[in-house]
Structure 1
Amino acid sequence: MMRHEFSELRQWFVVAMVISFALSTGCGVEAWKAKTYPVSGSIQINGVVPENAYVYLRPLNQPVDIAESMPFAIVQPDGTFEFMTYDADDGVPPGQYALCIMWKVDNSRPNSPDQLAGRYASVENALTEITIEERANVLDPIELTGEKLVSAPKASKTPGLPEGIALD
């Protein structure tokens, strides 16, 4: 009987040691998050601020973290943006990234077209490549000129129907 109690005590000791080790080494809920550094910038397209445009970074060499997070920012009315990866304005993990942008005609509509027609929306067609360093990073101002923009679809003359379709 003494041997059974010793075996059970040893099992509890091993479990306690594993839990203690996990907690002391940072295996908590947020241990998977990478360290981030502030990243900010500004943008204009054809001399206009692309308010509410999405500016996002795609990692070039390896994922940002095990969740493959994608740092992004939303352009403010003054043309500035500050990147976040996990929380508002927390920044971006160091590394090399493709800087992409998408400027929807109407952000309230999920299927709204990109005013830039997807020209800068992928790694292959990125606006530029940037390196985020282990410090505060301020990107050079982005000024796109001569961009042909996609406009909002024309409204139908009959409410609720696509253009060109009418009820008689």
Structure 2
Amino acid sequence: MTFRHPLVVLALALPLVVASSCTKEQPFRKPTTKVVGKVTVDGAAPDPAVQVECVAVGGMDASHPTFSRSDTREDGSFEISTYETGDGVPPGEYVLTFLQQPFNVMSRNYGADKFKGRYADAKKSEHKFTVAEGDPPVDLGTFDLKSK
């Protein structure tokens, strides 16, 4: 009996040891603040989804770049992701760009932007926001985009 007990403990402990040793350290990961919002197109939920991208006003951090974006859900809501789903954005000043490109499953390609590039240029974007480290979650509200 005493021989089996250590084997059971070892069998239960081994997966924990292996799992903890496989954790990847992310030394350059920046803190993030949750950012949510909603997109409507001509007053209705977008179909297909709208791609929402956050572009840093001062340009991308060359030493530790990040890419923050989201796709809208069926109701038009979105939550920006940088490292993990819905984790938000690192501190900084951002502008938003929007694309609505239908995805063709057969060809595995995106079609033309239904907004015809109207909301795709970060330099012309009127949708700005700033996040500081330690800020509470940010709700950007609703962006009513026009298809024409």
TM-score for both structures, normalised by structure 1? 0.64
Query: Does structure 1 conserve the Cα–Cα contact (< 8 Å) formed by 2:102 and 2:110?
Result: no
Query: Which of residues 61, 76, 84 in structure 1 aligns to 2:73?
Result: 76
For the pair 1:63 / 2:60, whether they are aligned, the reply is yes
Aligned partner of 2:122 in structure 1 is 123
Q: How many residues align?
A: 120
Structure with max Cα Rg: 1
Which residue number corresponds to residue 137 of structure 1?
A: 138
For the 8 Å contact 2:68–2:81, the answer to whether it is kept is yes
Structure 2: gaps (5+ residues): 1-23
Percent identity over the alignment is 26
Q: Are the equivalent residues in 2 in contact too, given 1:55–1:99 (CA < 8 A)?
A: yes
When the two chains are superposed, the root-mean-square deviation of aligned CA atoms in Å is 2.0
- CA apart distance, 1:64: 5.0
Residue type at the aligned position of 2:28: W
Q: Is residue 2:44 matched to residue 1:45?
A: no
* 1:32–1:66 Cα contact (<8 Å) kept: no
Structure with more strand by fraction: 2
Shift, 1:65, TM fit: 7.0
**1:52-102 deviation digits (Å, cap 9, x = unpaired):** 211010001253573421200110011100010011111111210011011
Q: Which amino acid aligns with 1:97?
A: Y
Q: Distance in 1 between matches of 2:123 and 2:59?
A: 16
Alignment-derived partner of residue 11 in structure 1 = none
Structure 1 gaps of 5+ residues are 1-27, 149-168
Q: Map 1:1-168 to 2 at 5 A.
A: 29-51=25-47, 52-63=49-60, 66-106=63-103, 108=105, 109-133=108-132, 134-145=135-146, 147-148=147-148
Q: Give runs of ≥4 in structure 1 deviating > 4 Å.
A: none
| Residue 111 to residue 73, structure 1, CA distance change in 2 (3 Å) | closer
